[in-house]
A = this chain, B = another copy of it.
Amino acid sequence: MQNALRVLEGRWKLVILFQLFGGQVRRFSDLERAIPGISQKMLIQQLRQLESDGVVGRIVHHQVPPKVEYHLTEWGQSLCPALDALLIWAEGAPAELRSRLIQEGPDGDAQKPETSVT
């Protein structure tokens, strides 16, 4: 079980999966454009991992300008309900969050203990 969750680990995995949500087929450059901030390296790396984990499928069209399309595999599709639920959850995010996380990368070993006491 932990193993399955590890498939989703990674800075861009979920974001990518959302792009492929519902059976969408997208080209490499489409994804690149659709995901601001991601680098080619990260995009291809995460895609490769998702691919080798069996969540994403890749199809190469040998044309003059190369064309490669990505999509969710069958198992990947079975993730949709979860992605959907996550989407709903994300919408209910506290307004603070929407802006805070942008600047400060996760963590930093910051601390501010006692939150509530009895």
Contacts and interface: CB of A to CB of B under 8 A. Distances in A.
- State the oligomeric state as a number of copies: 2
A101 B14 contact: no
A1 interface: yes
Contact of A86 (B5, B53, B87, B114): B5
Interface string A1-44: 11111111111001100000000000000000000000000000
Most B CB within 10 A of own CB, among A3, A11, A75, A114: A3
Given A75-B94, A97-B53, A118 B9 contact: no
B82 A89 contact: yes
Contacts of A97: 3-4, 7, 53-54
B111 A48 contact: yes
Closest 6 CB pairs of A and B: A82-B85, A4-B90, A4-B93, A3-B101, A81-B85, A82-B86
